[in-house]
Structure 1
């Protein structure tokens, strides 16, 4: 490839809406161009990166025994109605009608379609197990698309779906895909963690996310530095921080706390540790054909509620909302900020976090504006909670599950997700096969996604500097660029650059020759912005000494190498990159 024949259009400045590094650098390097909010054209440079990612994914999926097919972007609504997700999925599902008034969706995922394929194509246990995958455009109508390809509306995704005869087979298929994903992300050259995760809207009972480590990541990953344990903060179990409840040592007393509606303000005013205060969160559930139920959740003042965990509590798993001011006043007698479990006006269901259940002599709201109660103890001053369970987010320094050391937290960008689905979709869509006894049985399913275009953004977030992108060699748009200085004036430069370029191509290196006759500063700045791993500079001055310059994008200092064996040295440097 010659630069003069390739479409290279870099920008000095990124658009104002480019908030994060990957968005800015993809725009500036000419990888993408915005068409509409969350929708981008992938220009030749960006598409080369995407295709390399896809090739690695295909190679590992094929090696794992998965079979590639291609499912449509547009899907009939009937399948989504049949699965129950037509109503459940929410506004991110883009719905449309054709000229005959029939409902369709622009697919965000393909569980329904692949299950329809399976129920029509698979009849016998002899056809199982099987795993189908495709790499296809997806669309999710994000309310606020942002961060370029990191949270766009249209994106490319690899999704795979396994079908098995039984749970044991499905678990084996899950492990095969987990192992394939580990190989994929290692080959991409990314720093990542595989973490236990919640199954979310896809459903199922087992799930792992693959998170690329980056400061800009929207997800918080909890991990144990001493072991392999890692989990999304939504799923990480928060331990009880008090081994045993101490006996009361204080008298209960109502104290004035004017204007202190936050636990931090109460602790400061009363000169007590924040960890001795109790935070009250009031939720409402509305069972069908029954009166609304008010729930009081109690957490330590320095802890935050984990909505995913709360959503799995019996009685709350079917949906809950924050209680209104009117409901709070009706049950507690005062407005939020001074609520507590002592002497509520009407009965409420009290749920305590594990740590809260073992606290003694704590501070909580008095259900009276500008007042709190100090020295409160379970059993003596109020009944034991109806339920004690894990309600909170893990915090840095919590004890590790191994019992040795403490947990740490870092940010990550989700780029892959594997789910064990069980029979969630096969039961809804009646996808059965005949077992060895000739009896119909539901297929056990798993699904496995990789955000192809999101990987591009995640890789840049993890690898860039003030000059531009720093690609890993496996997904860089080109592995090597050969820059000829004074191209239009020096025949010697042209001949030597052409010789190096041709030799590298013959050795299977993905190389581009910059023959545009640009000034060195402009040329070098462009390739630093684009992030090609190795730059070879050919100039008259160096040729007079019998050398060319080799520069790694990771190293600011060029190396002078002899012309006669420069190709071998370039290839050796690429192997070590």
Structure 2
């Protein structure tokens, strides 16, 4: 590729609405162009990277035995209504009507469509297992699109769906896809971690997320440095304390705490450790029987230095569909405004759930349900009945690993892939069955496996950049090598050597671009450092007279002199490394 025949459009400054590094650098490098909130045109430079991501994915999916098809972007509402997700997905699901007033969804994912395909095509156990995948545009109407391709509304995803006759078969298909994903991310050249995860709205019995490690990542990844344990924060288990609860040593006392609403402020005011305080979180669930709606209020108790894990809370019996209480509801049930709430003396009965850590505490401090007052010396059994106990909190660094092989550490990551064991979540609803060896119908066991194709670009940049611009791993770079001539249009010697090397590299299968735009050296180097091409060759009269060409890797601090006749082999060795 010659730069004069390509489209290169770089900016010195990022647009003001670009927030994170990847968004800023992709805009500056001319890889994407915003046309609406969370919607981008992929410019030629960016599209080359997307195609490389897709090619790697396709190669590994094909090797793993998956079969490519292509499902529609627009899907009939009837399929989504069969599984209940037409209503459950909420406003993230973009709904449209055709000219006849019929409802359709712009797909955010394709479980319903692929299940419909399979229930009409798969009749016998002899046709299983099978795994279908496609690479297709998706749309999710994010409430607040941000961070460029990291959280856009329109994006490209590879989603695959496996179908098996039994749970053992599903586990084998899942293991095959897990292995394929590991190979894909290794080929991308990215540092990543696979972690156990919650299935969320997709449903099913088990899942893993694949995260690109980056300090700017939105997600907290929990792992044990001395074992294989890894989970995202939502799924990481906080083990109950191993010590028994100490006996009470203090009397229950209603203590003035004027203006002290936060646990940290109460602890400082009373000159006690924050770990002696208990925070109160009020949730509400509502159920409707006919025309009558019933409301239940729940009080969740966590140690003052711990944070609520909402996913764990939703798994407590009765809390699957909770919301946070309004201030008026809090006053109605507790008789106090937030900041002074606790489990003793509520105005109306509430369901109390204590985190494992709180259940093991004695002589603790909590709100007195009276403004400017807290109770000190609170003890279970004596001052309030034993509560329902559950794992409600986020883990913290230093917690014991659930596998008993060390303590937990936390790092940041960007989710770019997710694999699920769906089981019969969709096949039951949509009556996707097969006939077994005895001629009896059985529900098909499903798995689903997604990779955010366009999100890979943002994640890779968040992991690989410096003050000059992007540093692409070679496998993902828009071009592997750039040739930067000094005086291409002024020196016959330079032009001859550049054309020779360009032809030889191209013939050797190297993805090379020749910058023949006639730019000044400083501007030319700045462009390619911003764009992030990993290997650069500089050719000028001075070097040719000395019998040398100049090579510099994108991460190298200094250039390396290479003889012209040796440059192709030198580049091939660097690419192979």
Question: Could you say whether these structures have the same fold, taking a TM-score greater than 0.5 normalized by the shorter chain as the test?
Answer: yes
Corresponding position: 1:323 with 2:313: no
Partner of 2:506: 505
Corresponding position: 1:207 with 2:207: yes
Corresponding position: 1:166 with 2:169: no
Partner of 2:99: 99
Corresponding position: 1:256 with 2:256: yes
Corresponding position: 1:376 with 2:400: no
SS of structure 1 residue aligned to 2:112:
helix
Inter-partner Cα distance in structure 2 for 1:325 and 1:16: 37
Partner of 1:292: 295
Following superposition, the deviation at residue 347 of structure 1 comes to: 2.1
Following superposition, the deviation at residue 513 of structure 1 comes to: 1.1
SS of structure 2 residue aligned to 1:330:
helix
Inter-partner Cα distance in structure 1 for 2:345 and 2:157: 54
Corresponding position: 1:544 with 2:545: yes
Are the aligned partners of 1:242 and 1:359 in contact in 2 as well (CA < 8 Å)?
no
Inter-partner Cα distance in structure 1 for 2:490 and 2:75: 58
Partner of 1:447: 448
SS of structure 1 residue aligned to 2:212:
strand
Partner of 1:332: 334
Partner of 1:521: 522
Inter-partner Cα distance in structure 2 for 1:9 and 1:345: 65
Following superposition, the deviation at residue 573 of structure 1 comes to: 2.2
Q: Tell me, which stretches of 5 or more residues in structure 2 are unaligned?
A: none
Following superposition, the deviation at residue 242 of structure 1 comes to: 5.5
Pick closer, same or farther for the CA change 1:174–1:404 going to 2, 3 Å. Answer: closer
Partner of 2:352: 350
- Bigger mean CA offset, 347-356 vs 124-133: 347-356
Pick closer, same or farther for the CA change 1:373–1:242 going to 2, 3 Å. Answer: farther
Corresponding position: 1:565 with 2:557: no
Following superposition, the deviation at residue 404 of structure 1 comes to: 4.5
- Spell out, residue by residue over 1:74-115, the C-alpha distance to the aligned partner (whole angstroms, 9 max, x if none): 111111111111111111111111111111111111001000
- Spell out, residue by residue over 1:193-249, the C-alpha distance to the aligned partner (whole angstroms, 9 max, x if none): 101111111111101000111122111111111112111101100122462101111
Inter-partner Cα distance in structure 2 for 1:144 and 1:284: 25
- Bigger mean CA offset, 484-493 vs 559-568: 559-568
Q: Tell me, which stretches of 5 or more residues in structure 1 are unaligned?
A: none
Are the aligned partners of 2:535 and 2:552 in contact in 1 as well (CA < 8 Å)?
yes
Inter-partner Cα distance in structure 2 for 1:569 and 1:375: 74
Inter-partner Cα distance in structure 2 for 1:79 and 1:404: 46
Partner of 2:47: 47
- Bigger mean CA offset, 333-342 vs 436-445: 333-342
Inter-partner Cα distance in structure 2 for 1:21 and 1:145: 16
Following superposition, the deviation at residue 152 of structure 1 comes to: 0.7
Inter-partner Cα distance in structure 2 for 1:141 and 1:332: 37
Equivalences for residues 471-490 of structure 1 within 5 A: 471-490=472-491
Inter-partner Cα distance in structure 2 for 1:361 and 1:574: 64
SS of structure 2 residue aligned to 1:291:
strand
Inter-partner Cα distance in structure 2 for 1:330 and 1:7: 64
Are the aligned partners of 1:364 and 1:376 in contact in 2 as well (CA < 8 Å)?
yes
Are the aligned partners of 2:417 and 2:451 in contact in 1 as well (CA < 8 Å)?
yes
Partner of 2:310: 307
Are the aligned partners of 1:193 and 1:211 in contact in 2 as well (CA < 8 Å)?
yes
Following superposition, the deviation at residue 169 of structure 1 comes to: 0.5
Are the aligned partners of 1:166 and 1:444 in contact in 2 as well (CA < 8 Å)?
yes
Are the aligned partners of 2:196 and 2:232 in contact in 1 as well (CA < 8 Å)?
yes
Corresponding position: 1:438 with 2:439: yes
- Bigger mean CA offset, 566-575 vs 323-332: 323-332
Partner of 1:277: 277
Partner of 2:496: 495
Equivalences for residues 80-229 of structure 1 within 5 A: 80-229=80-229
Following superposition, the deviation at residue 336 of structure 1 comes to: 1.6
Instruction: Supply the RMSD in Å over aligned alpha carbons.
Output: 1.1
Inter-partner Cα distance in structure 1 for 2:104 and 2:343: 50
Partner of 1:268: 268
Partner of 2:9: 9
Inter-partner Cα distance in structure 2 for 1:513 and 1:326: 68
Are the aligned partners of 1:242 and 1:358 in contact in 2 as well (CA < 8 Å)?
no
Are the aligned partners of 1:242 and 1:355 in contact in 2 as well (CA < 8 Å)?
no
- Spell out, residue by residue over 1:296-337, the C-alpha distance to the aligned partner (whole angstroms, 9 max, x if none): 1111011111110110111111x1122233332333222221
Are the aligned partners of 1:361 and 1:374 in contact in 2 as well (CA < 8 Å)?
yes
Inter-partner Cα distance in structure 1 for 2:113 and 2:404: 45
Inter-partner Cα distance in structure 1 for 2:237 and 2:149: 32
Are the aligned partners of 2:255 and 2:376 in contact in 1 as well (CA < 8 Å)?
yes
SS of structure 1 residue aligned to 2:254:
strand
Partner of 1:69: 69
SS of structure 2 residue aligned to 1:292:
strand
Inter-partner Cα distance in structure 1 for 2:466 and 2:332: 57
- Bigger mean CA offset, 537-546 vs 322-331: 322-331
Are the aligned partners of 1:224 and 1:408 in contact in 2 as well (CA < 8 Å)?
yes
